[in-house]
Each structure stands twice: as structure tokens, then as C-alpha cells.
């Protein structure tokens, strides 16, 4: 005889993983109703089935597999967004990244798996060749959008809708895959300036495509990575759900106070093992090559002084372990000026090592860096703050599972 799981026990287990608000939203009840069920130890009979259908998938992975949902990773870089979603039970089934150096780092950390396809240029991929997936992830580059008149396009027999407004941009490739595959959710990441690009027209076009053309319930928020890592890094995150299902940014849990740079710097006291070529010797001292040359340090000081005299704020960012750094950029390999680590009075400062950059972006300690320093600086400067993505994935996951449950319910009804 089949034994059905107790709904109160399912609620208890769900509350160990999710907030009361998140569980209430998933069940389409208010928090006071959920609290009453738990206090009185009584779930109304007409809600028992929905509790089981919506909560059980949160707690149990599908049979013969260890993933809860699937996703694709577009403009993947070195896999920061993928890592965040894998931490919450996602399995990547398709990756697109055109840069061969980024591919090398990606494959070193996410070895090829059966059933997973990695392609280069997404603009050359037919959307129908992209596998089915529950969540689409994309850290797409921001490019200028050319917004032409739809009526003129119609008169000329040319594409309209998002094909008209976004053709020639990489966002178009995100949109066409969403249109073709209809994922249950998506997460798009970009620089904060996307909001103001072209006086707001670019972002307005993106929202119009996602909401009006593709029909998704869209939410966006700018998040500063300094809540998780010692770096001021503001990025916009855009979440879309195929159907409204209670998603709210209020469910996002951000630390009140973020860490200081001392948490990511090499201690240089022997408490960490030597990691060549970044550190050397018994105390794992930072290699001399990361200290600025006399010429470079003189140039940066003169450059900063010139701009100070002109009343500008341009210059280098000198920090120590008690500070929070400026934003790490892809140009860091050139002079390291935005984040220079003080080595004491009368000593020239140094750049961060690539390992410190990995920590600054929140990558795990065992993240492999198989490329040159120049390529590593570019890759980490273009990456996401991994703990931010993990936190966002946590609040997207229950919404995706709810939509999966709805699909299953609709499928079973259609068979009756």
C-alpha cells in the first residue's frame, strides 16, 4: 500500500530550507494562514493535495537523478552563473561561450558530461537545436539597440516585434531561444548602466520584448556584490517567470555587512600552502612579479596628481586588508590601478594575484585557473559575483518547481 507523506511534516521540512514567506507564496496562501496550519497542526483536507504536489518536489530530487531542474548557460564566461545554480540542484544541459580562453577555464572546472553540449558562437546556433530546459541563464553583453519603426518594417515585409527591435544584438539570441524553448524561468545579468544606456531606451526595449512580446512576468533589481565579497560591484539582475507565481525580491537574503579585503588576500604567514606561480616559499609570500615596477608606480602617481589638480576623481585605488575594493574590471591586467594592495610605507603596492581575484568574485577555493595571468584577469573582471547568483538562485528555485508542478498537473488533467 502506498503511504502518502504527511503534509505537516512536508511543511516542517520546507521551513528548514525556505522562509515562511517563500513557502506561503508557493502554496498561494498568506503567511498567517500558513502559521495557523502549523500551530494547530491541521492542514485543511482540500489543501492536502496541493501541499504535497508543491512541497514534495522541493525536498526530493527526481528518481535516478540528483538534479531538481535543468538550465542552459549562455554567454557563460568561466561559469560563475552556472556554479550558483548548481548549488541549488540545477543541472546544466547546454553551454555557449565563444572565447577559447574562457572555454579552457570553463572546461577545467566543469568537465564535459554526457548529454551536455558546449558551443561557441550562439549566433550560429538554431534555437531548435538547443535542448529543452527549465531555466535559461545569460550574462549577455550590452550592445546598442537600433529601434526602427514597426510600421515601416511591415511595409517593407521585414521582421517586426523583438526581431525588429533587437536584431543584430546579442540580446536577440537570448530572446529567440526563450521564444522557441519557453523555459519556465530565466535570469539575465548585466552591468548597472544597462538601466541608463541610451537614455533608458535600451532597457525599455528589453523589458518590452520580455514582457509584451514573450509574455513573461519580469522583475529586476540592482544588487551590490559588496554584501558578499569585499568589492563594490553593482549589477542588474533580470528574472522572468513564464507565469506569475509569487516571485518577490523581498525574499532575497543579503548579509547586512560584507567582508573586508583581508578575507581574500594571501596571508603570507605560512597558514596557507604555497601556490605557484602566485605565492612562493614556506610562508607562501606573494611573488615579486605582482609588485608594480618603479616606472609604473611613478606614472600612476603622476596621473592621479594631474587629475586631482584638475578637480577630477581619476586615479588609482590603494587599499589594505581593512578596505572594500573598487570594481574589478577586465582591464585590470594593464596596470591594476583600480585595486592596488598596499605593502607598507615606502614600498610599492602590488596587484592582486589571479587567485585573490577568484576569491574576490566568490569562486570556491578549488576553482582551477589554467590560463595566463592576463587572461585570468580578463575572465574574473568579466565574471559575476558567485554568492550573489547563489542567493538569487535560491529564491528562483521554488518558483521554478511550482511551475514544473503546474505543468505536471496540467499534463495529468489532459490525459484524463
- CATH number for the domain harbouring residue 360: 3.90.120.10
Residues 121, 20 share a domain: no
Q: Is residue 110 part of a domain?
A: yes
Tens digits of residue pLDDT in 322-375: 999 999 999 999 888 899 999 998 899 999 999 999 999 999 999 999 999 999
The x, y and z cell numbers of residue 215, run together, are 509574455
Q: Which of 37, 59, 81 is the last residue of a domain?
A: 59
Domain of 174, CATH number, reads 3.40.50.150
Residues 333, 187 share a domain: no
- The pTM of this model reads 0.79
Residue ranges making up the domain that contains 26? 7-59
Q: Is residue 2 part of a domain?
A: no
Residues 180, 119 share a domain: yes
Residues 230, 340 share a domain: no
Residues 268, 247 share a domain: no
d(CA 308, CA 5): 68
Instruction: Please confirm, yes or no, whether 142 is among the known catalytic residues.
Output: yes
- CA 35 vs. chain centroid, Å, equals 33
Tens digits of residue pLDDT in 232-291: 999 999 999 999 988 999 999 899 889 999 999 999 999 999 999 999 999 999 999 999
Helix (H) or strand (E) holding 235: strand 234-241
Among candidate residues 26, 19, 11, 20, the one with its CA nearest the CA of residue 244: 26
Report strand pairing: 90-96 vs 117-119. parallel
**What confidence category does residue 414 fall into, taking pLDDT thresholds of 50, 70 and 90?**
low
Write the burial class of residue 3 (CB in 10 Å: 0-12 exposed, 13-18 middle, 19+ buried).
exposed
Looking at per-residue pLDDT, the higher value among 164 and 155 belongs to 164
Q: Is residue 224 part of a domain?
A: yes
Q: Is residue 64 part of a domain?
A: no
d(CA 249, CA 120): 33
Catalytic residue, from 92, 142, 164, 357: name it. 142
Residues 254, 140 share a domain: yes
Per the structure, the count of domains in the chain is: 3
Residues 236, 109 share a domain: yes
d(CA 219, CA 187): 10
d(CA 347, CA 137): 44
Provide the b/e sequence for 332-369 (b: ≥16 CB within 10 Å).
bbebbbbbbbebeeeeebbbbbbbbbbbbbbbeeebeb
d(CA 188, CA 191): 11
**What confidence category does residue 168 fall into, taking pLDDT thresholds of 50, 70 and 90?**
low
3-state class (DSSP) for residue 25 = helix
| List of residues 6+ apart from 396 with CB closer than 8 A | 135, 185, 187, 239, 247
Residues 374, 285 share a domain: yes
Residues 150, 230 share a domain: yes
Residues 390, 248 share a domain: yes
- Cell 494547530 sits on residue: 40
Q: Is residue 348 part of a domain?
A: yes
Residues 254, 402 share a domain: yes
Among candidate residues 92, 90, 141, 99, the one with its CA nearest the CA of residue 120: 99
Residues 334, 391 share a domain: no
Tens digits of residue pLDDT in 287-315: 999 999 999 999 998 888 887 777 676 77
Whether residue 312 has a cis bond before it, omega within 30° of 0: no
Amino acid at each position: 500500500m502506498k503511504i502518502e507523506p504527511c503534509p505537516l511534516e512536508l511543511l516542517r521540512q520546507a521551513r528548514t530550507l525556505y522562509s515562511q514567506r517563500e513557502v506561503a507564496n508557493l502554496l498561494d496562501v498568506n503567511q498567517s494562514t500558513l502559521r495557523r496550519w502549523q500551530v494547530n497542526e491541521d492542514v485543511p483536507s482540500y489543501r492536502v493535495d496541493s501541499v504535497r504536489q508543491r512541497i514534495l518536489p522541493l525536498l526530493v530530487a527526481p528518481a535516478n537523478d540528483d538534479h531538481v531542474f535543468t538550465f542552459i548557460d549562455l554567454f557563460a564566461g568561466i561559469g560563475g552563473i552556472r556554479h550558483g545554480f548548481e548549488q541549488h540542484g540545477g543541472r546544466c544541459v547546454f553551454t555557449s561561450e565563444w572565447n577559447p580562453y574562457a572555454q579552457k577555464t570553463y572546461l577545467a572546472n566543469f568537465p564535459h558530461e554526457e548529454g551536455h553540449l558546449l558551443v561557441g558562437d550562439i549566433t550560429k546556433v538554431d534555437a531548435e537545436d538547443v535542448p529543452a530546459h527549465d531555466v535559461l541563464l545569460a550574462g549577455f553583453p550590452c550592445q546598442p539597440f537600433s529601434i526602427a519603426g514597426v510600421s515601416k518594417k511591415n511595409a517593407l515585409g521585414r521582421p517586426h516585434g523583438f526581431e525588429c527591435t533587437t536584431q543584430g544584438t546579442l540580446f536577440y539570441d537570448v530572446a529567440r531561444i526563450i521564444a522557441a524553448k519557453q523555459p519556465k524561468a530565466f535570469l539575465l545579468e548585466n552591468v548597472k548602466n544597462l538601466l541608463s544606456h541610451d537614455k533608458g531606451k535600451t532597457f525599455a526595449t528589453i523589458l518590452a520584448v520580455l514582457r509584451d512580446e514573450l509574455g513573461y512576468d519580469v522583475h529586476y533589481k540592482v544588487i551590490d556584490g559588496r554584501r558578499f565579497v569585499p568589492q563594490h560591484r553593482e549589477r542588474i539582475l533580470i528574472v522572468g517567470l513564464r507565469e506569475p507565481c509569487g516571485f518577490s525580491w523581498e525574499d532575497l537574503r543579503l548579509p547586512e555587512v560584507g567582508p573586508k579585503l583581508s578575507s581574500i588576500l594571501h596571508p603570507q604567514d605560512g597558514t596557507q600552502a604555497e601556490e605557484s606561480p602566485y605565492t612562493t616559499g614556506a610562508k607562501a609570500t606573494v611573488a615579486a612579479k605582482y609588485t608594480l615596477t618603479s616606472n609604473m608606480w611613478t606614472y600612476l602617481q603622476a596621473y592621479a596628481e594631474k587629475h586631482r589638480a584638475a578637480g577630477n576623481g581619476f586615479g588609482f585605488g590603494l587599499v589594505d586588508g581593512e578596505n572594500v575594493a573598487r570594481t574589478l574590471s577586465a582591464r585590470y591586467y594593464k596596470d591594476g590601478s583600480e585595486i592596488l594592495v598596499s605593502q607598507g610605507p615606502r614600498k610599492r603596492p602590488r596587484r592582486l594575484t589571479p587567485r585573490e581575484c577568484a576569491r574576490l568574485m566568490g569562486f570556491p577555493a578549488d576553482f582551477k585557473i589554467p590560463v595566463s595571468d592576463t587572461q585570468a584577469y580578463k575572465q574574473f573582471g568579466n565574471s559575476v559575483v558567485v554568492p550573489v547568483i547563489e542567493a538569487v538562485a535560491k529564491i528562483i528555485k521554488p518558483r521554478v518547481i511550482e511551475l514544473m508542478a503546474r505543468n505536471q498537473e496540467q499534463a495529468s488533467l489532459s490525459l484524463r
